[in-house]
A and B are shown apart, each in its own frame.
Chain A
Amino acid sequence: MRHTISVLVQNHPGVLSRVTNLFSARGYNIDSLVVGTTENEKFSRMTIVVDGDDRIIDQVEKQLKKLIEVKTVVDLSKEDFISRDLALIKIKAEKSNRNEVMDIIQAFNAKIVDVGLKSFVIEVTGKESKINAMIELLKSFGILELVRTGEVAIARGKRFYENVAPTKIKVQLASEDQINL
């Protein structure tokens, strides 16, 4: 079964590779992984979609919690949560079929963000299933290029971390000579 796991991590260099490393080293499959800043600059949030049986998901959660830079791990699939995916889809749009394409765009609440001579770029957001459905419909017109963000997700009404104040100190830097010694 697919699980959507939300991971709050310290915003350190290398933390992304620490997480992806864990998945590759232990042979877990990532369907998608999205990482971005949060309202607190000290933390980033990752939304990871993993496919696996209960034993694997249990291990994924526990192993993630073991990483020092991981603050919280929440399996959103066990909670009430909202998830969104975003896709940019470039499709062939000849005069003859533009209207038909426009209808689909409307039906999916998507928009056109770029118009070329023979193509559109469409932006669509929503649940993964909705985007899949739209892509299915657009296929017959000829999809030229497609890019998706992967799922981002958030639980309803939860908050995970405490604030940490930054420390400031004066440092006397080493001279070139000292370093090159």
Chain B
Amino acid sequence: MPAKNILKSGADIVVDILLEEGVTIAWGITGGAILPVYDALYKKRDKIRLIDTKHEQGAIHMAEGFAKSTGQVGVCIVTSGPGATNIVTGLADAYMDSVPIVAITGQVATSLIGTDAFQEADVVGITRSCTKHNFLIHNLAELPQIMRDAFFIARTGRPGPVLIDLPKDIAVSSADLSIPKKPSIELSRFVPEIDSNKIKVVADLIQKSKKPVIYAGGGIIHANAASELKEFVKKTNIPITLTLMGLGSFPGSDKQFIDMLGMHGSYRANMAVMECDLLIAIGSRFDDRVTGKLSEFSPQSKKVHIDVDPTSIGKNVPVDVSILGNLKTILKRLTQLSHYQEYKEWYQQLNEWNAKHPFGFDQKPNQKILPQFAISEIFRITKGQAFITTEVGQHQMWAAQFYKFDYPRHWITSGGLGTMGFGFPAAVGVQFAHPHANVIDIAGDGSFQMTLQELAVVREYKLPVKIVILNNRFMGMVKQWQDLHFEKRYASTSIPAQPDFVKLAEAYGIQGYRASTPSEATRILEKTLNRSEACLIDIIVDENEHVYPMVPAGKSVRDIVLSKQENISSTHGVYKRRKK
């Protein structure tokens, strides 16, 4: 609490509360309406680092990368009008993937709101449907409580982005305000009370099941419940599949893990969900990329759904039992009530499916580099210890398939919104949070060009971020759909005028490398990935590779496509790698 009779400006109050909330770093770009806040931050620059990005989208994705890799709230501070509209994509991304973000936007003075003033935009209106909550500050008196509430809302229950729109006159007005210590919102609003009876019901269902599967998602990571999940899975011996967002919430190298499910998930995981008699969804949301055709999704199973967000229950798929509440607590209690079973036949079946169609590829030494091979090499060279971010496209799916994550918060990808241009700034944000860790953006050549200007930030802060571009000269994922469904009419998917990525990196003072053969790729990746300085590696890959398996959009697992030739009778290549 400030000493009596000391007047503090709105901007100073913002900074005071940022400090109290434990914020040590924020990202943004300055401007007229936010200038007072930047000035107040400058005065506290020994405590909060303010990183000037080159585009506000970069700022918010960095904040997301920071938040996803630490679990802490990521903070992004930008000016009014275009500054604010430039973060809308990031807010929508954070909303879809439940990332705790507090975004502070400058706004024109309250007297000017609604007059089409210079750099005025109805930011609260624009962002209403892509934030967990947003606030326009109407007077200085309400600012401290709203700041507190914003952090509480962002991080509590199912996390999400919260925006505060701060008019300039309020930022420069001052008052002797006491700073509230607590949020004005009750916890129960975000974290429902657990119904113990239902935990017993679920334990009974597990007891009776012969073919159970756990289908866990990003909720495990948000709830920091990975170790509780592991205990539950180990104690019960139930096989587990993870969603794209859940990767790392259970060790990818464990033998109970049956790989990712969904559109580009493994044959084994998708078949398991199809054939199981009990599906236990934990912190996942029955997204359409997972379920495919709803009427044919997991038709024989009893379904259990465990989540913190009541709106997730029964939204897409009706379930038999749901348990709401904190996942950590629920899993602990469920583990206590559950028992080990062998599931011998069930595992036999799962192994058969895997033997039939494992994730695999066939890299020949003298042919074009396969993107799957490049990712397997990254996995091998970093010993599975790196933080991996991705852009959106084929490379993202291959990264999910071929990099095995043993720890939560190491896989940072844009799942819900599928935002191209996310991965690189997100990697920068991760690197700020973990200065000594190995952070790699696995990028597509299309996506990387959306936010590449943040190379300047990498350079300025000497961040050891690695960018590996799987360069297929195409909007590869869309090309794949054209190959499969549009008779190879490549409308707008070829990228004919590409920059020389190596020279581009060098222009920013960053080392650039190019690999055109498999052995070159291996050599360069081995040389660069474990170094503690930034570099960009442009890997020229085969543009005709497809991501398989593929459950076509809106279809069921029965329609799964396994390879270009529909049968996976690939010959033995030197680098042929089979999982497990």
Contacts and interface: CB of A to CB of B under 8 A. Distances in A.
A17 B128 contact: yes
Given A55-B314, A63-B311, A68-B153, A171 B141 contact: yes
A31 interface: no
A88 B148 CA distance: 47
Contacts of B141: 167, 169, 171
A10 to B, nearest CB: 11
A68 B310 contact: no
Nearest to B174: A172
Given A14-B136, A62-B311, A68-B185, A173 B169 contact: yes
Interface string B300-316: 00000000011101110
Interface string B138-174: 1111000000010001000000000000001110111
B11 to A, nearest CB: 11
Given A179-B168, A181-B35, A170 B176 contact: yes
A101 to B, nearest CB: 46
B172 A171 contact: no
Contacts of B48: none
B310 A62 contact: yes
B174 A68 contact: no
Given A55-B314, A68-B133, A68-B185, A14 B173 contact: no
A172 B175 CA distance: 6
Contact of B109 (A55, A58, A179): A179
A63 B174 CA distance: 37
Contacts of B35: 181
B125 A171 contact: no
B124 interface: yes
A169 B139 CA distance: 11
A22 B7 CA distance: 40
Nearest to A172: B174
Interface in B99-153: 109, 111, 124-125, 128-129, 133, 136, 138-141, 149, 153
A174 interface: yes
Interface string A41-54: 00000000000000
Given A21-B128, A68-B153, A174 B175 contact: no
A174 B172 contact: yes
A96 interface: no
Interface in A139-181: 167, 169-174, 178-179, 181
Contacts of B310: 62, 65-66
Nearest to A66: B311
A132 interface: no
Given A65-B310, A171-B139, A178 B172 contact: yes
Contacts of A98: none
A173 B177 CA distance: 14
Contacts of B7: 172
A63 B309 CA distance: 10
Contacts of A17: 125, 128
A69 B120 CA distance: 25
Given A65-B310, A66-B311, A68-B153, A172 B129 contact: no
Contacts of B129: 21-22, 25
Contacts of B174: 171-172
A2 interface: no
A38 interface: no
A172 B311 contact: no
Contacts of A13: 136, 138
Contact of A18 (B128, B138, B153, B168): B128
A59 interface: yes
Contacts of A22: 129
B323 to A, nearest CB: 15
Contacts of A14: 124-125, 128, 136
Given A21-B128, A181-B35, A169 B177 contact: yes
A22 B189 CA distance: 18
B168 to A, nearest CB: 6
Given A14-B136, A62-B311, A68-B185, A171 B153 contact: no
A57 to B, nearest CB: 11
B124 A174 contact: no
Given A18-B128, A63-B311, A171 B169 contact: no
Contacts of A55: 314, 318
B311 A171 contact: no
A29 B156 CA distance: 30
A87 B111 CA distance: 39
Q: Which 6 A-B pairs have the closest CB atoms?
A: A174-B172, A62-B311, A178-B172, A171-B175, A174-B173, A68-B133
7 contacts: A13-B138, A55-B318, A59-B311, A66-B309, A68-B133, A172-B175, A178-B169
Interface of A: 13-14, 17-18, 21-22, 25, 55, 58-59, 62-63, 65-68, 167, 169-174, 178-179, 181
Interface of B: 7, 32, 35, 109, 111, 124-125, 128-129, 133, 136, 138-141, 149, 153, 168-170, 172-177, 185, 189, 309-311, 313-315, 318
Given A169-B141, A174-B109, 9 more contacts: A25-B129, A55-B318, A59-B311, A59-B315, A66-B309, A66-B311, A68-B189, A169-B177, A174-B170
